[in-house]
Amino acid sequence: MASALNELSATQAARWIADGRIRSEDLVRACLDRTAQREPEVAAWAALDPERALAAARQADATPAAGPLHGVPIGIKDVIDTADLPTGMGSPIYAGHQPRADASCVAMLKAAGAIVLGKTVTCEFAGSAPGATQNPWDRERTPGGSSSGSAAAVADRMVPLALGTQTGGSVLRPASFCGIVGFKPTYGTINRMGLKFAAESLDTIGMMARDPEDIALCLHVLTWSPPPQSLDDPERLRIGICRTPLWDKAEAETRAALDHAAQLAAAAGAELTEIDLPGHFSELGEARAIINDVERARSLAWEWARHRDAISPQMVRQVEHGHSVSGERYHAALRFAERARWALDPLLEGVDVLLAPCVNGEAPPGLHYAGDPSFQGLWTLLHVPTVSLPAIRGPHGMPVGVQLVGRRYSDLQVLAAARWLIRRAGLHGGTAMPESTGRHAIPA
């Protein structure tokens, strides 16, 4: 259980602020203190404005709770526009860039009462060239990417909730590497106005938190889904174990994480079946690479024309690959992906969710490589909602997650299943830090 204010979940904090048990200002101060203490090592933030956040918190404390996130601090990935904080996109091309408007997701969160604590470090343009963020569990290891700062800040108890984006595996992989809950909703359900596109037909705004209920709360605000109180605990969860065509190359801890989650679920009464994906789904990886690189090349058309020297070698390679693909081949990849989405639907008819491998092993050592996106990218291309939950520790003591996957638009079912796995089956979600992380005790 949380023993300091900065360890509270967003749901708990919002409830207690609305009740008057805690003040938003104290919560924000606790998060800022934790950040001040840890940021020199973790480097999760691209921009912070403590005074602005504290002023917003005092204003929240002076008014009755008007929205479900009233007074709750959040982090925003730095490829998402903010009108009062610079948006640097992890690129020198946008150093100090100040957008005119908040992205729609930011405006909607603010309208629900949330307080933007700051912008979190992103890989360059939500791609694969990492920023300075370290994994809070082991500073010699990557936090994953591209939503590196959001994952690290949430894992390190600097903030209870943060937005990320996923084009390949940029939410779920860092969430798994940092031992928190990552969620990528159904493609198209969160408005992307004000997001710098990586690859437009894949980019999905997602969330990171330490509790699936916080994700459901954020989803309620951003997609007008029913409030998390209405999340139904499934009576008898039907889980399809889906090892995917990638299983053969999965590390031992990836397999162990899935087996562990499956065993806990079975012991808690879930009904398990094995589900195989059609053989041609193995081609989805190549289709995703084509779509990703063509769309990256186009999304960066202005930067390519005007600031090519300031683009990383990794991104240059992707853009150049994109330029080598014909329009016809790109359209064929889009159509292939669409047909696969339709082929997936009947496979999911007999189950509530799929349980699938999430990442290939623990967070690798070094900060230069944010990890392999293939285990997450498959589902991103399929546009389905997917959540990662910490499941086990790997051979180096690092968290390793599993992912739950649902039918398109069944986002709440996926989150309900995640909560069931944690609460009923005992899967260790919301990995606790070894000792209390904050100095601001929760008032009795």
Report which of 24, 22, 154 is spatially closest to residue 433, judged by C-alpha positions: 154
Catalytically annotated residue among 77, 119, 184, 196? 77
Is 94 an interacting residue with respect to its own copies (CB under 8 A)?
A: yes
Q: Using CA atoms, how far apart are residues 205 and 173, in angstroms rounded to an integer?
A: 14
40-52 burial code (b ≥16 CB/10 A, e <16) = eebbbbbbbbbee
Distance CA 297, CA 291 (A): 10
**In whole angstroms, what is the distance from residue 16 CA to residue 212 CA?**
18
Contacting its own copies (CB under 8 A), which of 16, 330, 375, 420? 330
Specify whether the CB–CB gap between 183 and 211 falls below 8 A.
Answer: no
Tokens of 262: 């499956």
Instruction: Answer yes or no whether residue 283 interacts with its own copies by CB under 8 A.
Output: no
* Residue 304 interacting with its own copies (CB under 8 A): yes
Query: Min. distance of Cβ 186 from its own copies in angstroms?
Result: 8
Q: Out of 91, 189, 204, 437, point to the residue binding its own copies (CB under 8 A).
A: 189
> Residue 154 and residue 44: Cα distance in Å, rounded?
9
Choice among 24, 104, 146, 148 that is catalytic: 146
Q: Which is nearer to its own copies, 111 or 252 (CB)?
A: 111
Measured from the CB atom, the residue of 111 and 132 that comes closer to its own copies is 111
Examine residue 1 and tell whether it contacts its own copies (CB under 8 A): no
Among 15, 52, 58, 97, binds its own copies (CB under 8 A): 97
Rounded-to-integer distance, Cα 175 and Cα 356, Å: 15
* Closer by beta carbon to its own copies, 192 or else 260: 192
Size of the site for its own copies (CB under 8 A): 50
Q: Which of 102, 124, 253, 362 binds its own copies (CB under 8 A)?
A: 102
Cβ neighbors of 301 (< 8 A, separation 6 or more) are none
327 in contact with its own copies (CB under 8 A) = yes
Q: Is 107 in the site for its own copies (CB under 8 A)?
A: yes
Subset of 404-433 contacting its own copies (CB under 8 A)? 409
Catalytic residue (choose from 9, 91, 104, 170): 170
334 is a contact residue toward its own copies (CB under 8 A): yes
Member of 302, 397, 435, 444 binding its own copies (CB under 8 A): 302
By C-beta, is 84 or 259 nearer to its own copies? 84
CA–CA separation, 308 vs 323, rounded Å? 14
Q: What's the angle, vertex CA 167, arms to CA 256 and CA 391, rounded to 5?
A: 20
Name the token pair of 265: 């679920």
| Complex with its own copies: residue 153 or 319, whichever CB lies closer | 319
Interface pick for its own copies out of 35, 104, 120, 165 (rule CB under 8 A): 104
Rounded to an integer, what distance in angstroms lies between the CA atom of residue 106 and that of residue 246? 35
Regarding 95 and contact with its own copies (CB under 8 A), the answer is no
Site string for its own copies, 67-86 (x = CB under 8 A): ----------------x---
- The residue within the footprint of its own copies, chosen from 23, 29, 173, 196 (CB under 8 A), is 196
Toward its own copies, which CB reaches closer, 383 or 428?
383
Question: Could you tell me the two tokens for 345?
Answer: 């639907």
* Residue 231 · residue 438 · CB < 8 Å: no
Burial group, residue 81, by CB count within 10 angstroms (0-12, 13-18, 19+): buried
Contact partners, residue 228, CB within 8 Å, separation at least 6: 11, 213, 216, 217, 220, 415
The residue range among 295-303, 346-354, 358-366, 397-405 that interacts with its own copies, by the rule CB under 8 A, is 295-303
Query: Is 146 a catalytic site residue?
Result: yes
**Calpha distance 345→410 (Å, rounded):** 11
Please state, in angstroms and rounded to a whole number, the distance separating the CA atoms of residues 143 and 150: 10
Among 15, 298, 321, 424, binds its own copies (CB under 8 A): 298
> Pick from 66, 95, 301, 441: which binds its own copies (CB under 8 A)?
301
The candidate with the shortest Cα–Cα distance to 258, out of 376, 354, 182, is 354
255 alpha carbon, distance to own chain's centre: 22
Residues making contact with its own copies (CB under 8 A): 83, 94, 97, 100-108, 110-111, 186, 188-189, 191-194, 196-197, 200-201, 223-226, 294-295, 298-306, 325-328, 330-331, 334-335, 342, 409
Catalytic (active-site) positions: 77, 146, 170
